[in-house]
A and B are shown apart, each in its own frame.
Chain A
Amino acid sequence: MAEQTLRAWLLTDTPTSRRHAKLSALYQGWLAFRANTMAMIGLGILLSLVLIAAAAPLLAPHDPFVQNLGNRLAPLGSEGHILGTDSLGRDILSRLIYGARITLYIVALVAMIAPIVGLLVGTVSGYIGGWVDIVLMRITDIFLAFPRLVLALAFVAALGAGIENAVIAISLTAWPPYARIARAETLTIRSSDYISAIKLQGAGGLRIITKHIWPLCVSSLIVRVTLDMAGIILAAAGLGFLGLGAQPPSPEWGAMISEGRRFILDHWWVATMPGLAIFTVSLAFNLLGDGLRDVLDPKAGE
Chain B
Amino acid sequence: MALTIGSIAVTMLGLLFVTFIIGRVMPIDPVLAIVGERASQSTYDAVFLELGLDKPLVVQFGYYIWDVLHLDFGTSLLNARPVSEDIARVFPATLELATLGIFIGIVIGVPLGVVAAARKGSWIDQLARVLALVGYSMPIFWLGLMGLLIFYGILGWVGGPGRVGIFYVDVVPSVTGLILVDAALDGNWDVFKDAFSHIILPASLLGYFSLAYISRMTRSFMLEQLSAEYITTARVKGMSEWDVIWKHAFKNIRVQLITVIALSYANLLEGSVLTEIIFSWPGIGSYITTALLSADMNAVLGGTVVVGLIFILLNIFSDLLYKVFDPRAK
Interface residues of A (CB under 8 A from B): 138-139, 141-143, 145-151, 153-160, 230-231, 234, 237-238, 241-244, 254, 257, 261, 264-265, 268, 271-272, 274-275, 278-279, 282-283, 285-287, 302
Contact = CB atoms under 8 A, between A and B. Distances in A.
B292 interface: yes
Given A153-B289, A264-B153, A286 B133 contact: yes
A265 B316 CA distance: 42
A287 B48 CA distance: 55
B155 interface: no
B74 to A, nearest CB: 15
Interface string B134-170: 1011111111011011000100000000000000000
* Interface core residue of A148, A154, A257, A287 (most chain B CB under 10 Å): A154
B137 A286 contact: yes
B11 A242 contact: no
Given A142-B15, A146-B15, A268 B223 contact: no
A283 B304 contact: no
A278 B133 CA distance: 14
Contacts of A286: 133, 136-137
B11 A142 contact: yes
B266 interface: yes
A264 B19 CA distance: 36
Contact of B304 (A143, A151, A238, A287): A151
Interface stretch (B36-44, B104-112, B306-314): B306-314
Contacts of B11: 141-142, 145
B315 interface: yes
B14 A139 contact: yes
B206 interface: no
Contacts of B14: 138-139, 142-143
A172 B297 CA distance: 20
Q: Which size class do B's interface residues fall under?
A: 35 or more
Interface of B: 7, 10-11, 14-15, 18-19, 22-23, 25-27, 133-134, 136-143, 145-146, 148-149, 153, 220, 223, 266, 269-271, 273-274, 277-278, 288-289, 292-293, 295, 297, 300-301, 303-304, 307-308, 311-312, 315-316
Given A146-B18, A149-B270, A302-B223, 18 more contacts: A142-B10, A142-B14, A145-B315, A147-B311, A148-B270, A157-B22, A157-B295, A230-B137, A231-B136, A238-B274, A261-B145, A264-B145, A265-B149, A272-B149, A275-B145, A282-B138, A282-B139, A286-B137
B294 to A, nearest CB: 11
Contact of B148 (A148, A150, A243, A264): A264
Contact of A241 (B146, B274, B312, B316): B274
A281 B298 CA distance: 37
Contacts of B308: 146-147, 150-151
A268 B293 CA distance: 26
A48 to B, nearest CB: 17
Contact of A150 (B143, B273, B297): B273
B146 A147 contact: no
A275 B142 contact: yes
Nearest to B10: A138
Contacts of A279: 137-139, 142
Contacts of B153: 264-265, 268
A251 to B, nearest CB: 16
A241 B277 CA distance: 10
A158 B26 contact: yes
Contact of B142 (A154, A159, A257, A283): A257
A279 B19 CA distance: 32
Contacts of B277: 241-242
